[in-house]
């Protein structure tokens, strides 16, 4: 299968294994690549290891008694899997964690400004604040509000905006569609696509909502049980029979999936082997 | 009426000092989620430092304050580096146990260096009194009032307008998020301990000027604890208001209730009775951070 670029990926995850608390193995050899300026989707069911993969990249694993025991992670030509989350953030990777983790008692604007903590260019931070408000006009009007009272969609916008404020080379987004109405998911995905195109930021997107993610991604990986079981350019994955059936809910082209078809059990098992 | 107002005003000044000490409590509570049992012992060290700089060293009050603040900052840094940083990621209980140990160590230090003797520097402070109608504010109270107001304003500015202040408030909310943004938790902890130690020491100098310094001065920590509970454990504004309330109540009780009983001592108890009553009706204190529940 072709790799996402020419093998010169900005982020390269090489066959990593992750163990929590010295005994629980969560990842069993995951490799993926994100190229400069690309959107890469990481798909899979609950417990497949998507979030763990993100945490391994961002170094957040170390705060949760997890450890990369094998393999390596390279970012921008440097091996990063030994660094803590603060150092990795300073290198240009920012993560919007799952579940809309806004700093509740801080105002919207403070939430955004704190995202730019590592930056020294004050003028640039100010400009980016306006850029964020430009992408999310809804939260501009709420800039002095306590962010804990924002709606779910507004909080998700705030969290993405905060990740943007760091001006990262790579943004890690963990389930930006979680718990949002379909219409809002569409809005947020459009903006993610715009951020990628206009700000030239690469994005690694973890999603359960495969339809939304493959709609904007250049390349995709499907994970299961701590392994990558399928990968390919997004348009190929969209047409892949298995992905259509298990993630997009379609069986034949254009028709809704029929639950009478029970064969999918067998096909699913083939992936795990 | 003048007597009442007099009690109120001196109580207010005293309360501001309590509030200042209590802020140290709140800051540690916010960043580490743990009660700093040693907060009162910073006050004790502060009292002795105040004595040292004012009496044997003959420094003017501002120089003594400044030297004590520098010493307190070093003490805070050392404590964070040596005792708190190794516990990052451990349970809050471990940190509380560590602060209990710290309390003993600081008390031992005070005994070792100053012999645990009663020291006083009552007459050393400049004698300025403020007169307003029939009310006069004695110099200790006036200095206490001015210094605590200045310290509080500086802290407010720090939290509102500086980068590290914002980082501290953010860390109080969600440590993981803050780390993912590149903020070093250890820096935030170090600054928090420096502030806790500095406000404790300043409070110690101010209180030592009023009543002298001895080992039991550390018990003021308990009063600061009451202030924190009354104000709502994680609210700095609440600590200020509660400190003032507690100071005023204590003074009023001392003025009106103590003469009624032979032995006195009601002044010490009365504020705690009020605290118990308030806590029964408002278990989160007067100004505890409201838990944000979206509807």
**Segment A15-25, tens digit of pLDDT:** 999 999 889 99
A104 and B292: CB-CB below 8 Å? yes
pLDDT digits (tens, 9 = 90+) for A3-15: 444 456 799 999 9
**Whose CA is closest to A62, among A120, A20, A25?**
A20
Sequence-ordered list of residues with C-beta below 8 angstroms from that of A235, at least 6 positions apart, any chain: none
A116 near B170, Cβ under 8 Å?
A: no
Q: Which of B166, B174, B182 to mutate to test the interface with A (most CBs of A within 10 A)?
A: B182
| pLDDT tens, position by position, B94-116 | 999 999 999 999 999 999 999 88
Give A-chain residues touching B180 at CB under 8 angstroms. Answer: 58, 60, 85, 89, 94-95, 97
Contacts of A152 in chain B (CB under 8 A): 294
pLDDT-derived band at A173, boundaries 50, 70, 90: very high
Q: Chain B contacts of A110, Cβ < 8 Å?
A: 166, 169-170
Q: Is the pLDDT of residue A266 over 60?
A: no
**Four-point Cα dihedral B173, B175, B179, B183, nearest 10:** 60
Q: Between chains, do A84 and B292 touch, taking CB under 8 Å as contact?
A: no
Please choose, from the candidates B254, B130, B137, B148, the residue with its C-alpha nearest in 3D space to the C-alpha of residue B206.
Answer: B148
B233 contacts chain A (CB < 8 A) = no
A94 vs A91: CA distance, rounded Å:
9
For the stretch B129-182, pLDDT in tens is 777 777 888 888 888 999 999 999 999 999 989 999 999 999 988 888 999 999
Distance from CA of A197 to the nearest CA of B (A): 23
- What pLDDT shows up at residue B258? 78
Is B98 at the interface with chain A, CB within 8 A?
A: no
Average pLDDT over residues A198-221: 92
Under 8 Å between Cβ of A210 and A243 = yes
Candidate from A13-22, A69-78, B194-203, B279-288 with smallest mean pLDDT: B279-288
Window from A85-99, A170-184, B61-75, B128-142 with minimum mean pLDDT: B128-142
How far, in Å, CA of B42 to CA of B109, rounded? Answer: 11
**pLDDT confidence of B52, banded at 50, 70, 90?**
very high
Mean pLDDT of chain B: 88
pLDDT range class, residue A261, cuts 50, 70, 90: low
Interface test with B, best of A54, A63, A107 (most B CBs within 10 A): A63
What is the sign, positive or negative, of the torsion defined by CA atoms of A83, A156, A237, A233?
A: negative
Is the confidence at residue B294, as pLDDT, over 70? no
B160: contact with A, CB 8 A cutoff: no
Q: What integer pLDDT is reported at residue B278 of this predicted model?
A: 84
ipTM of the complex: 0.83
With cut-offs at 50, 70 and 90, classify the pLDDT of residue B66: very high
CA-CA distance, A219 to B114, in Å (whole number)? 71
Query: Residue A103: which of B163, B177, B185 has the nearest Cβ?
Result: B177
Cβ–Cβ gap A106/B163 under 8 Å: no
Angstrom distances, CA of residue A257 to CA of A122, A185, A211, A215: 53, 22, 14, 19
**Residue B258 burial (10 A CB sphere; 0-12, 13-18, 19+):** middle
In chain A, which residues have their Cβ closer than 8 Å to the Cβ of B167? 114, 117
State the pLDDT at residue B285: 80
Q: Which has more pLDDT, A48 or A267? A: A48
- Best mutation target among A66, A148, A151, A152 (most B Cβ atoms within 10 Å) is A148
- Segment A216-234 shows an average pLDDT of 92
A234, A218 contact by CB (below 8 A): yes
Given this structure, which CATH class describes domain B2-281? Answer: mainly alpha
pLDDT, average across residues A106-116: 94
Q: C-alpha distances in angstroms, A170 versus A34, A44, A62, A178, A221? A: 9, 21, 20, 21, 17
| Cβ-proximal residues to B115 (8 Å cutoff; 6+ apart), any chain | none
Q: Check whether B203 has a pLDDT greater than 50.
A: yes
Q: Where are the beta strands (DSSP E) in chain A?
A: 11-20, 24-34, 39-44, 66-75, 78-79, 93-96, 170-174, 202-207, 219-224, 227-233
Q: How far apart are CA A27 and CA A20, in angstroms?
A: 10
Whole-angstrom Cα distance, residue A44 to residue A231? 11
Query: How sure is the predictor about A273, in pLDDT bands with cuts at 50, 70 and 90?
Result: very low
Percentage with pLDDT > 70 across chain B: 96
Beta-carbon contacts below 8 Å between A and B: 79
Determine contact: B161 vs chain A, CB below 8 A: no
A126 has pLDDT over 70: yes
pLDDT at position B139: 84
Contact B280, B40 (CB under 8 A): no
CA A66 – CA A73 distance, rounded (Å): 15
What's the pLDDT at A258?
A: 52
Chain A's closest residue to B172, CA to CA, is: A103
The per-residue pLDDT for B289 is: 64
Average pLDDT for residues A233-243, to the nearest whole number?
A: 86
**pLDDT tens-digit readout, B210-223:** 888 998 888 888 88
Alpha helices of B80-174 — where are they, by DSSP H? Answer: 92-114, 139-161, 163-173
Q: How far apart are CA B267 and CA B211, in angstroms?
A: 15
* Nearest CB to B182; choose among A104, A117, A150: A117
Interface contact flag, B173 A105, Cβ < 8 Å: yes
**A229 CA to chain B: closest CA distance, Å?**
29
Contact predicate A257/A249, CB 8 Å:
yes
Say which range, A54-63, A195-204, B168-177, B252-261, has the weakest mean pLDDT.
Answer: B252-261
Instruction: Check B174 against A115: CB less than 8 A apart.
Output: no
| A60 vs B contacts (CB less than 8 Å) | 176, 179-180
Band (A263; pLDDT cuts 50, 70, 90): low
Per-domain residue ranges of chain B: 2-281
Indicate the range of A151-155, B69-73, B124-128, B167-171 predicted with least confidence: B124-128
pTM for the predicted model, two decimal places: 0.85
Confidence of residue A116 (pLDDT cuts 50, 70, 90): very high
pLDDT at A96: 92
């Amino acid at each position: 299968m072709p790799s996402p670029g020419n093998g010169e990926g900005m982020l390269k995850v090489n066959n990593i294994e992750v163990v929590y608390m010295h005994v629980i193995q969560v990842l069993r050899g995951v490799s993926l690549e994100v190229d400069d300026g690309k959107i890469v989707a990481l798909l899979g069911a609950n417990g497949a290891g998507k979030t763990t993969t993100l945490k391994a990249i961002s170094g957040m694993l170390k705060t949760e008694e997890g450890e990369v025991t094998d393999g390596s992670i390279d970012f921008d030509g440097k091996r990063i899997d030994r660094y803590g989350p603060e150092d990795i953030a300073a290198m240009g990777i920012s993560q919007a964690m799952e579940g809309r983790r806004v700093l509740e008692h801080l105002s919207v604007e403070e939430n955004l400004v704190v995202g730019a903590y590592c930056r020294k260019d004050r003028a640039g931070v100010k400009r980016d604040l306006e850029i964020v408000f430009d992408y999310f006009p809804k939260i501009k009007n709420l800039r002095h509000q306590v962010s804990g009272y924002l709606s779910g969609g507004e909080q998700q916008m705030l969290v993405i905006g905060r990740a943007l404020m760091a001006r990262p080379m790579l943004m890690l987004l963990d389930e930006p569609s979680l718990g949002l109405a379909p219409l809002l998911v569409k809005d947020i995905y459009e903006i993610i696509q715009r951020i990628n195109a206009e700000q030239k930021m690469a994005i690694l997107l973890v999603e359960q909502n495969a339809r939304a993610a493959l709609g904007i991604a250049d390349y995709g990986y499907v994970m299961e049980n701590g392994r990558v079981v399928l990968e390919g350019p997004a348009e190929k994955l969209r047409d892949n029979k298995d992905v259509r059936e298990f993630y997009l809910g379609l069986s034949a082209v254009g028709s809704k999936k029929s639950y009478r078809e029970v064969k999918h059990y067998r096909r699913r098992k083939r992936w795990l082997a | 009426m003048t007597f009442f107002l007099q009690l109120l005003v001196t109580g207010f000044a005293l309360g501001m000092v309590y509030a200042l000490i209590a802020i140290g409590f709140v800051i540690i509570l916010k960043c580490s989620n743990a009660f700093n049992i040693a907060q009162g012992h910073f006050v004790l060290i502060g009292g002795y430092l105040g004595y040292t700089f004012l009496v044997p060293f003959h420094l003017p009050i501002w120089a003594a304050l400044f030297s004590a603040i520098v010493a307190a900052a070093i003490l805070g840094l050392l404590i964070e580096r040596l005792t708190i940083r190794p516990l990052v990621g451990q349970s809050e209980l471990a940190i509380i146990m560590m602060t209990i140990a710290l309390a003993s160590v600081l008390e031992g230090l005070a005994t070792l260096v100053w012999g645990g003797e009663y020291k006083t520097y009552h007459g050393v402070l400049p004698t300025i009194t403020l007169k307003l109608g029939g009310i006069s504010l004695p110099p200790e109270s006036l200095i206490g009032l001015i210094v605590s107001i200045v310290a509080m304003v500086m802290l407010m500015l720090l939290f509102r307008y500086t980068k590290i202040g914002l980082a501290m408030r953010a860390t109080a909310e969600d440590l993981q998020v803050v780390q993912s943004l590149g903020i070093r938790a250890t820096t935030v902890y170090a600054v928090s301990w420096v502030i806790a130690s500095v406000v404790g020491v300043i409070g110690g100098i101010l209180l030592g000027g009023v009543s002298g310094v001895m080992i039991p001065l550390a018990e003021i920590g308990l009063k600061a604890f009451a202030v924190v509970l009354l104000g709502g454990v994680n609210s700095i504004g609440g600590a200020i208001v509660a400190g003032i309330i507690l100071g005023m109540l204590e003074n009023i009780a001392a003025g009106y209730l103590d003469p009624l009983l032979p032995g006195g001592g009601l002044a010490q108890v009365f504020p705690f009775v009020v605290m118990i009553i308030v806590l029964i009706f408002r278990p989160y204190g007067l100004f505890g951070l409201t838990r944000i529940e979206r509807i």
